[in-house]
Amino acid sequence: MLHELLLSLLGYTGDLVVDDKEHRLSVGLSPENSISDQCTFKLASDISFLQSSERDIIEKTITLGFYYRELDRFATKSRNLSWIRFGNEGSKKNQSVYRRAIANGLVEVLSVYRSAVLHVEQKLLSDPLPILATVTQSLNKFFVLLPPLYELILEIERDDISGGKLLNLLHKRCHCGVPELQTCIQRLLWHGHQVMYNQLASWMVYGILHDQYGEFFICKQEGNSEQDSSNMSEKLARMSVNDGSLSDWHLGFHISLDMLPEYIPMHIAESILFAGKAIRVLRNPSSAFRSVDARHKKLMGDELLPQSEADKIESMLINLKESSEFHKRSFEGAVDSIRAIAASHLWQLVVVRADLNGHLKAIKDYFLLAKGDFFQTFLEESRQLMRLPPRQSTAEADLMVPFRLAVTKTISDDDKYFSRVMLRMPAIGANIKSSKVDVPKSKYADGDSSLSSDSSSEMSLDGWDGIALEYSVDWPLQLFFTQEVLSRYCRIFQYLLRLKRTQMELEKSWESVMQQDHSNFSKRHIERVNGSTSQQRRQCFRPMWRVREHMAFLIRNLQFYIQVDVIESQWNVLQTHIEESRDFAELVEFHQEYLSALISQSFLDIGSVSRILDGIMKLCLQFCWKIENQETNASTNELERITEEFNKKSNSLYTILRSSRLAGSQRAPFLRRFLLRLNFNSYFEQTAQGVMNVIRPTPTIPPLQR
């Protein structure tokens, strides 16, 4: 009887111990491979020679045999790789590397249990009077191990837990008050961590994602939206890039929150993601970049990622792997060190070898109008063209003529970056419609009722305001200059170009009319005509010149504020960061802060201010065109309307900018200087006091006389 009891402890039933599950299988009530959710080992009901106390002890003891059999079945099933030999792809879906690792840990525990049963058998054989207490005394410690392990595999099977979720479950089960059970589950967790460290080594040493069953918390981007994926693909196509590393960097991989263990913080997971992507870039350089290196032998001293650095990363992971327990601080320290190595070499690639600072300077020259002579020449050459509406089919080609003239006059042959700059004019039909209808609607949405009464034609942007620049970027600079970054630069460029065009028109209008006035004066002097008419004409024009001077004063100060106080100061800050930083990710963050500062301090992100500035520039252009045409009385009312609207908008602008929310905030540290320049004689402050409540008499412009 004792031998049959020992066999039942190893999962083999017979006449003494029977299995209810086998009976249910015989009548088809239970699937063969399912794990029973309760103990099915029972003492045979026809055993009559046992006392009730002995029966209770045996029934309690044989539960260990049931737990052993279920744990052994789980381990055998999880470690079964026969589907590889037979090519059964259907079985592959249910496989799990992490379950297989946990199964290896269970095999270790079960081997200890089998050794204990063998030791009990040896005791019983050597004892002349074997007793049941020998069995229970030797196996008593397994009553605190096997039942919780059985509950563990039951939960794993029922909820189909694998990967990071399985590590989470084991980590939670480690927190218990039974030292033996805690040690056992920590061993299982150690086996699970071996798989995770192997995947980390593959990802962070070689840049390879080895995760055939989708269990790692770094996973390939599958794309929930086909439209988002196609949009990103179009953006990459526009950047003229065929490198797989660039596609991987932007949309190849992401963090799966479902598989991320709770004891690994999100910032550490992001560091792991960044390090792996950086290693992929460093180990898979563009063929074009290799050819550039081939022409510069001094850059080929080392590989992009030296083998010594890769060995250093691998040794850190090996040290973590060999540790008997998972130490969060050691793990985070190793990940931070690996990330720093990857970021440093990526910085070396992008900043030093790819000449990041030279490209930043070129973008500043052309997108931020630092080459003022070039754009001044371009606007002068295209001035007459821009007086006419752009033609839908040939607008871009028309602009290329003055653009090339400006290049010939101002750009030297030594400028190796200008060849990357391309002038673009988007489709005219769609843009004009959008500027007249859609843009005002969206602008008024955040609620400036005082401006909503303006006509759509006045608030619509000029047709030439769609002029844009494109910048051709090669590998690996696309990691830094993403399509989003270039779009933000283009937005700033269009704003600055409108501002410069407005400033130039105000100057040219004064120059043109003064030339005409001097010509008329000379003509009358030669012909000795009475000068009273000329004097009267000048008297009529004085209010207009006063308005023009107010416009020019505002535009000049705004232009100075943006170019000097905003762009130059932020550029110096960025240059300091570039010199001090050796981390690519930090550099990207600094550059994003630089761009955000340019946009916010130029008021492009404040709907009410940007609307007013657009309106002011539009009014200035209308004013210049009107006074240059010098039409008769028909234009006088229009000039008065423009003057009134300009006064209203300029006072509104000053009122908003001097509010404590803007002037007192850190978003525009040099705004007070701008306001001081505007209000140096308290003119704006006095005229803006009652702009919303007091109706001031508008200056009357006398009718123009020929």
**Does an H or E element contain 471, and which?**
strand 468-471
Q: Which of 68-72, 82-86, 182-186, 453-457 has the lowest mean pLDDT?
A: 453-457
Buried b (16+ CB within 10 A) or exposed e, 483-500: bebbebbbbbbbbbbbbb
pTM for this model (two decimals): 0.77
Which carries the bigger pLDDT value, residue 347 or residue 537? 347
For residues 683 and 666, give the distance between their C-alpha atoms in angstroms, rounded to a whole number: 26
Q: pLDDT band for 339, please (50, 70, 90 cuts).
A: very high
Alpha carbon distance, N-terminus to C-terminus of the chain:
131
pLDDT in tens, 513-544: 666 666 666 666 665 555 555 555 566 667 77
pLDDT in tens, 157-170: 898 999 999 999 99
Q: Which of 111-120, 325-334, 373-382, 685-694 has the lowest mean pLDDT?
A: 685-694
For residues 500 and 386, give the distance between their C-alpha atoms in angstroms, rounded to a whole number: 14
**CB count in 10 Å sphere of residue 264:** 21
DSSP secondary structure code for residue 692 in this structure: T
Q: Helices then strands (H, E): number in the chain?
A: 33, 6
For residues 246 and 262, give the distance between their C-alpha atoms in angstroms, rounded to a whole number: 30
pLDDT in tens, 366-398: 999 998 899 999 988 888 888 888 887 888 888
pLDDT in tens, 6-64: 888 888 877 777 777 665 555 555 555 556 667 877 777 667 677 777 778 888 888 88
Q: Would you state the pLDDT for residue 364?
A: 93
Name the nearest CA neighbour of 123 among 111, 110, 138, 112: 138
All residues at 6 or more sequence positions from 325 whose CB lies less than 8 Å from its CB, including other chains: 186, 190
Q: pLDDT band for 431, please (50, 70, 90 cuts).
A: very low
SS3 readout for 161-196: CCHHHHHHHHHHHCCCCCHHHHHHHHHHHHHHHHHH
Residue 273 is which amino acid?
Answer: L
All residues at 6 or more sequence positions from 633 whose CB lies less than 8 Å from its CB, including other chains: 703, 704
Q: Which residues pair with 348 in a beta bridge?
A: none
Q: pLDDT band for 439, please (50, 70, 90 cuts).
A: very low
For residues 539 and 524, give the distance between their C-alpha atoms in angstroms, rounded to a whole number: 17
pLDDT in tens, 651-688: 888 888 877 676 666 666 777 787 788 877 776 676 66
